[in-house]
Amino acid sequence: MEAGFALFVGVLMGCGVYLLLRARTFDVVLGLTLVSYAVNVFIFLMGRAGGRAPIIDGRAATAAYADPLPQALVLTAIVIGFGMTAVLLMIALRTRAEAGSDHVDALPDSTEDGAQR
Amino acid sequence: MTVSHWLVAPIVLPFITGACVLLLERPAPRLAAAVSVAATVALLAIAAALLWVAAQGGIEVCLVGNWKAPFGIALALDRLGALMLLVTALIATAVVGYARGDGRGDQQGAHFHALLQFQLMGLNGAFLTADLFNLFVFFEVLLIASYGLLLHGGGAPRLRASVHYVVFNLAASALFLIAVALLYGLTGTLNMADLARRVAIAPAHVGPLLQAAALLLLVVFAAKAALLPLYFWLPATYRAAMPPVAALFVVMTKVGVYCFARVSSVLFATEPLRDLTHPWLPLLALGTLLLATLGALAARRLPELVAYLVVASAGMLLLAVGLGSERAVAAGVYYLVHSSVAAAGMFLLADVLGRGDYGALQDASLPAAAAPATAFVVMAAALAGLPPLGGFIAKAMLLDASQPLALAPAVWTIVLVSGLGATVALARTGSRLIWKTGGVVVRSAATPRRTLADRGAVALLVGAVIAVAAVAGPLTDYALATAHQLARPQAYIDAVLGAEPVAPAWNPRAGAEGH
């Protein structure tokens, strides 16, 4: 099962990195979302794959339970990732509206907009 | 209420202020700004008091939630953390004053003060926390506030810089999470003190994985601190940001350096992780210094030049951390205070000089230009590391500390060449800005008058730069004591793990039984 999970995380991460390296904001947002899924599953797995639900009811040895802490960590990471993706989407949409293109370098650089000095 | 309870103040005060400002800014924008300024000044006072506490040599620990150390989240205050808090609060005070000043920088977009306060909350939290996941959370707090601040004022160049900056940092955050998860999976803890203890007793076969996790962590910190292959975002970002925002962002690169120092001190003291940063960190830092100097020489505008000097200062600081000897780290601590304040001041000053008022100096405008021109000379000398200011003292300390090392010739050459390069770049820019004669004075009607607030803000940072040199004796003593403390992490580990929860003054269960 570990191998399956590892493959799953690896494929997600690979697709995410591929999309992240493309120069379109839409692809980059999708890529970052896939990367954050991969990371979240990875954190989750760090609490032992395939353990019992961490409700200590005395019916199994302590070693059989999954570690509940990564589940709390992953919850925090999901919430933060959601917020960050929302911010990035907003910025990407603004860029698309201002530049008329979703290329990441579509807008002019600050050195090109006439000398301030 | 004991001293250790005050450790939450630098986090809670900006948090509550930010929330209040959000509520107040629509109905009463002036009141909201006044609250923000007052809270930042109060933060400065708290940071000064905490520095005094830390200067006694002990390590204060606050158990948030009153759980004993490895289980709950602990905040810890040592000399390095306290110094970072004070530098941050000082720069924040100048920034908030400058934004209230002439340009009404805080009115050029929504929520400036709220974002500034949340950024302060994230920064202070990162300097205080003793837990890696908590560090991640505070990183995200300061980053999400910085995304808003970078966009503040609007415009296409800022939007462009924001896209790059946000994507870069989100990718770095993903790496941070992988590193944290890996460390947790291997050791079962994220408390830095507990982590240090468990790394030391970890079985040999997990050693390489631990090293991989630690190196991933360092990649993230290097991205924040702008180390060689990962600094390309910085000049574009700082150049695009509004001047007060750029001044505040100077502290953000120092967060990366701080984390490098903290992690090297606490985690990398024991075997599988010992000497993990040798010898690549000093080499990369030297490369950063060299390339940043070239960037400074090629920069076409003062803010861009200062941005490259911020990268160069990050190179100097990581060089000090990478060399690792106590005296090198002490030089780094001293340089950290000096370079943060000088770079932040220069960003504000660049705005003052860049408004067109001082574009061409003629007899009539001489008195008006004298003060900013003098300030420019002082700050330029400070940034280039010329005597008698602090940059010179720090570089002398660092060169002296590197003397016995094999790397010494490279360190001496590159540090001195970068000082020369910065001097040339700053002198050229300064003469073009201030001594240009025969040109037309560009004074548009829209150029606002200088007010007391922004003069005071620039004066505060120029004064701080001079003060850093004036109190060089006590400050280097403090820096040496800081390096001494960092070289002996056992005290930090004992303080965090030994902190006892506070017994409740009132026991709710006892009360319930009475009925």
Confidence of residue B117 (pLDDT cuts 50, 70, 90): very high
Closest CB to A107: pick one of B143, B160, B174: B160
Closest CB to A88: pick one of B137, B170, B301: B170
Condensed to tens digits (0 to 9), the pLDDT of residues B166-202 reads 999 999 999 999 999 999 999 888 999 999 989 888 8
User: Is residue A108 domain-resident?
Assistant: no
Distance from CA of B269 to the nearest CA of A (A): 25
User: Is residue A104 domain-resident?
Assistant: no
pLDDT value, residue A114: 40
pLDDT value, residue B364: 47
User: Is residue B509 domain-resident?
Assistant: no
User: Is residue A94 domain-resident?
Assistant: yes
Closest CB to B301: pick one of A43, A106, A117: A117
pLDDT value, residue B510: 58
Candidate from B272-276, B284-288, B309-313, B473-477 with smallest mean pLDDT = B272-276
> What is the reported pTM?
0.91
**How many domains does chain A divide into?**
1
Cβ pair B157:A105 closer than 8 A: no
Residue B515 has pLDDT above 50, yes or no: no
User: Is residue B513 domain-resident?
Assistant: no
pLDDT value, residue A104: 82
Cis-peptide, bond into residue B367, ω within 30° of zero: no
**R_g (Cα) of chain A, nearest Å:** 20
Average pLDDT on B86-103 reads: 88
| Average per-residue pLDDT for chain B | 87
Is B301's Cβ below 8 Å from some Cβ in A? yes
Percent helix, strand, coil in chain A (nearest 5)?
Answer: 65, 5, 35
Residue B34 has pLDDT above 70, yes or no: yes
Q: Residues of A with CB below 8 A from B185's CB?
A: 45-47, 70
> For position A73, which CATH number holds?
1.10.287
pLDDT value, residue B291: 94
- Closest chain B residue by Cα to residue A86: B144
User: Is residue B368 domain-resident?
Assistant: yes
pLDDT value, residue B446: 44
| Average per-residue pLDDT for chain A | 85
> Which domain covers residue A23, as residue numbers?
2-51+65-99
Complex ipTM value: 0.91
Candidate from A97-111, B105-119, B192-206 with smallest mean pLDDT = A97-111
Confidence of residue A56 (pLDDT cuts 50, 70, 90): confident
> Chain A residues within 8 A (CB-CB) of chain B?
20, 25, 28, 32, 35-36, 39, 42-43, 45-47, 67, 69-70, 73, 76-77, 80, 83-85, 87-88, 91-92, 94-95, 98-99, 104-111, 113, 115-117
pLDDT value, residue B126: 95
Structure tokens at B32: 């909201």
Cβ pair B240:A110 closer than 8 A: yes
User: Is residue A70 domain-resident?
Assistant: yes
pLDDT value, residue B109: 76
Average pLDDT on B302-325 reads: 92
Residue B14 has pLDDT above 60, yes or no: yes
Condensed to tens digits (0 to 9), the pLDDT of residues A86-99 reads 999 999 998 888 88
Average pLDDT on B388-411 reads: 90
- Closest chain B residue by Cα to residue A9: B178
User: Is residue B24 domain-resident?
Assistant: yes
CB count in 10 Å sphere of residue B433: 22
Distance from CA of A68 to the nearest CA of B (A): 11
- Closest chain B residue by Cα to residue A113: B157
pLDDT value, residue B492: 92
pLDDT value, residue A60: 77
User: Is residue B490 domain-resident?
Assistant: yes
Closest CB to A87: pick one of B147, B157, B159: B147
User: Is residue A29 domain-resident?
Assistant: yes
Cβ pair A107:B156 closer than 8 A: yes
Confidence of residue A115 (pLDDT cuts 50, 70, 90): very low
Confidence of residue B4 (pLDDT cuts 50, 70, 90): confident
d(CA A82, CA B126): 21
pLDDT value, residue B454: 76
Candidate from B18-27, B61-70, B97-106, B378-387 with smallest mean pLDDT = B97-106
User: Is residue A42 domain-resident?
Assistant: yes
State residue B102 phi and psi, 5-degree precision: -60, -50
Contact B73, B64 (CB under 8 A): yes
User: Is residue B98 domain-resident?
Assistant: yes
> Which domain covers residue B423, as residue numbers?
3-503
Contacts (Cβ under 8 Å, ≥6 apart) of B187: B194, B195, B198, B199, B202, B210
User: Is residue B511 domain-resident?
Assistant: no
Residue B362 has pLDDT above 70, yes or no: no
User: Is residue A69 domain-resident?
Assistant: yes
Under DSSP, is residue B180 helix (H, G, I), strand (E, B) or coil?
A: helix
